[in-house]
A and B are shown apart, each in its own frame.
Chain A
Amino acid sequence: MLYILDQRLRAQNIPGDKARKDEWTEVDRKRVLNDIISTMFNRKFMEELFKPQELYSKKALRTVYERLAHASIMKLNQASMDKLYDLMTMAFKYQVLLCPRPKDVLLVTFNHLDTIKGFIQDSPTILQQVDETFRQLTEIYGGLSAGEFQLIRQTLLIFFQDLHIRVSMFLKDKVQNNNGRFVLPVSGPVPWGTEVPGLIRMFNNKGEEVKRIEFKHGGNYVPAPKEGSFELYGDRVLKLGTNMYSVNRPVETHMSGSSKNLASRTQESIAPNPLAKEELNFLARLMGGMEIKKPSGPEPGFRLNLFTTDEEEEQAALTRPEELSYEVINIQATQDQQRSEELARIMGEFEIMEQPRLSTSKGDDLLAMMDEL
C-alpha cells in the first residue's frame, strides 16, 4: 500500500513554491506517509495484530486497510480505494506465490520493513516503532520450522485464491499472463537448502555412494548464491517485497472479471458467517488500537486519485464488474446492543470529516458510519 501511495504521490508532486493550495507537494507526501506509517506501527495496534488469531475475512481486512489509508490528510474516492486495494492484494499474492521456500515469506516481510524505514528516516520515533516490530517478528516467527512456514504460506495462498486481476505493470514485465495467472519461471537460482534438480545418487548398505546418474529435469536452474539475512540489517538477497516502483511508472489495473469463479465469490457474501461475532470483536479491538492523529486546526482533505484523470476515476466506479465489488463490514446494529455500543465508542474516537447526518437512533448512526468506511 505504501509503495503504491508513495509512487502515486510522487507522480502528482508539484514543487512547493509552485503548488496551488489543492495540489500535492513533497512535504505533503512525506507527511501522509509518516502519518500512515506511524498509525500502522503504533504499539497498541501491533499488539493486537500479534495476538494469535484466525485470518481475517476479506471484508474485515479491506475495512482495516481503508481505515489505515485515511489516517492522514489524504482522501480516496471509492474507485481509487478499490484500485489501491486491487493492486495491493495482487502484488502481495505475487510475492507469497513466488517465494522460493516457505521461510522466505519472513524475508519478504523484512524487505517491506526495510523500505518503510527508508520512507521515514527523518522520524526517529517512528523508526523505533518499526524496529520494535522487527524484533517482535523475529521473536515470534524466527524459530518456526519449515513445516510451520509452509502452513503459513498455504494459509495465505488460500486467502488469495481465485483472484486474477490483471495489473498492467505485471503484464508489461511478463510476470503475469493475460489470463491473470502469474508466470512461474522454471529457471534461476533454486531456494536456499534445495539442490539443483537432475542428479540421482545410489548408495550401498554402508551408506557409500556406488553410482551417480544425471537426468534431464526440464528446467534451467542454478545453485542458490547465499542465504538472505534475518538480522535487523542485512542483505536479504531476495528481491520479492522490495519496492516495485524503481522507476516512475503509471499505476494501472485492468478489471478482469473472472466469471468462471463467480460462483465461489457469491458463496462468500451470501452464506452467513458463524464467526461474525468473533471477528467483529477482533476488528473492534484492532481499530481501537489505531490512534489516528487528529489535525490541530481545520484542514482541507487532499484527495488522491489512483487514476490518471478524474473522468477515468468516475468511469471506473461506474463500470466496476459486480463480482469484484468489495464489501465492507456491516453490523446488524439492532441484534447485539453491547457489541454495537463498544464499536460505537471506538468509532467515536476516530475523526470523521463528513457532514452531520440525520439519524433516528444510535443504531442507525453506527450503521451509517460503517457504511461510509
Chain B
Amino acid sequence: MYESNGYTMVYWHALDSGDASPGTFITGVLVLAIGTWSGRVLVFDIPAKGPNIVLSEELAGHQTPITDIATEPAQGQDCVADMVTADDSGLLCVWRSGPEFTLLTRIPGFGVPCPSVQLWQGIIAAGYGNGQVHLYEAATGNLHVQINAHARAICALDLAPEVGKLLSAGEDTFVHIWKLSRSPESGYIEVEHCHGECVSDTQLCGARFCDSSGSSFAVTGYDLAEIRRFSSV
C-alpha cells in the first residue's frame, strides 16, 4: 500500500503461498478488504492518520477464488449491507460491518463465475459469465431483476452513484447503460435500458464511468493498446 502520490510505501502484507493471486479489493472508509484465490477475504483496519495498518479479520464464506468486492457506506439502519463479495462459482456473500463483519445472507451461484459486483442503495448488481445481470435486494438476498444483457461473459460493472446508472461491459464487444430505480408503489427494484454501444471487434476487459453523473465512460479490451473514452453529447 502506498501514499496517494505513489512515492512512499506505508504497509505490506505477505499472502500465504496458498493465497497468492491477483486479489480484488475496494477501499471502504476505514477498512480495506482483499479477496484471495483461496476464497478468504482479508480485512485490514486503516487508521484515520498514520501508517498503523492492521490485519483485523479473515472472512470465511467462499470456497473458490474471489472475483470482486463491492462496498457502500453504512446507512445507519438495521440490516443494511455494507459489503458484497463475489467468487468464481457465482456465489455472493452479503456482509454488514461492525466491530466484526457479519454475514447477512448468501446468494448461491448457478454454474458460472460472477466477475463483477456493485452495491448501490441496498441494491446488489451482479454480472455473470453467461452474460446476465442480476439485481438483488441486499437486505433479503431476493432476486428482483434478471437482465439477458450480453451474449458473452460480462467483464465489468460500474456505477454512477449520483444518478443510479449502471454500466455493463461484456466480451461480446458491447457496453450497456442502465438506470436503476425503485417502484414508488411496491418499493421493488426496477431497471430501464438507457444506451448500448458496440466497440467493434474488441473483446472488452474493463469499463468505468469517468464521472459520477455517468455522462462519459471508458473501456479497455484484449489486444487494445488504447483506452477508449465515450461521452454523451
Contacts and interface: CB of A to CB of B under 8 A. Distances in A.
Interface of A: 97, 100-102, 145-148, 150, 157, 161-162, 164, 177, 181-184, 186, 190-191, 193-205, 207, 210, 213, 215-219, 221, 260-261
Interface of B: 64-65, 67, 88-89, 111-113, 129-132, 140, 142-153, 172-174, 176, 186, 188-191, 193, 196-198, 200-203, 222-223, 225
A260 B112 CA distance: 36
Nearest to B174: A218
A47 to B, nearest CB: 26
Given A150-B113, A184-B202, A193-B111, A199 B145 contact: no
Contacts of A184: 172-173, 200-203
B151 A197 contact: yes
A202 B153 contact: no
20 contacts: A97-B222, A146-B113, A147-B64, A150-B153, A184-B203, A194-B131, A195-B130, A195-B148, A197-B149, A199-B148, A200-B145, A200-B191, A201-B145, A203-B146, A204-B144, A204-B186, A205-B142, A207-B143, A219-B172, A261-B225
A204 B111 CA distance: 24
A95 to B, nearest CB: 14
A260 B223 CA distance: 12
Given A186-B174, A215-B193, A204 B188 contact: yes
B151 A221 contact: yes
Contact of A195 (B132, B196, B201, B203): B132
B151 to A, nearest CB: 5
A101 B129 CA distance: 9
B94 to A, nearest CB: 16
Contacts of B203: 97, 184
The 5 closest A-B pairs by CB, nearest first: A147-B88, A215-B193, A147-B113, A195-B148, A218-B196
Contacts of A197: 131, 148-151, 172, 174
Given A150-B153, A200-B147, 10 more contacts: A97-B222, A102-B153, A157-B222, A182-B201, A191-B151, A197-B131, A197-B150, A200-B148, A202-B144, A202-B190
A199 B193 CA distance: 10
B223 A218 contact: no
Nearest to A200: B147
Contacts of B225: 260-261
A196 B64 contact: no
Nearest to B88: A147
Contacts of B176: 217
Which of A100, A181, A198, A218 has the most B CB atoms < 10 Å from its CB? A218
Nearest to B190: A202
A169 to B, nearest CB: 18
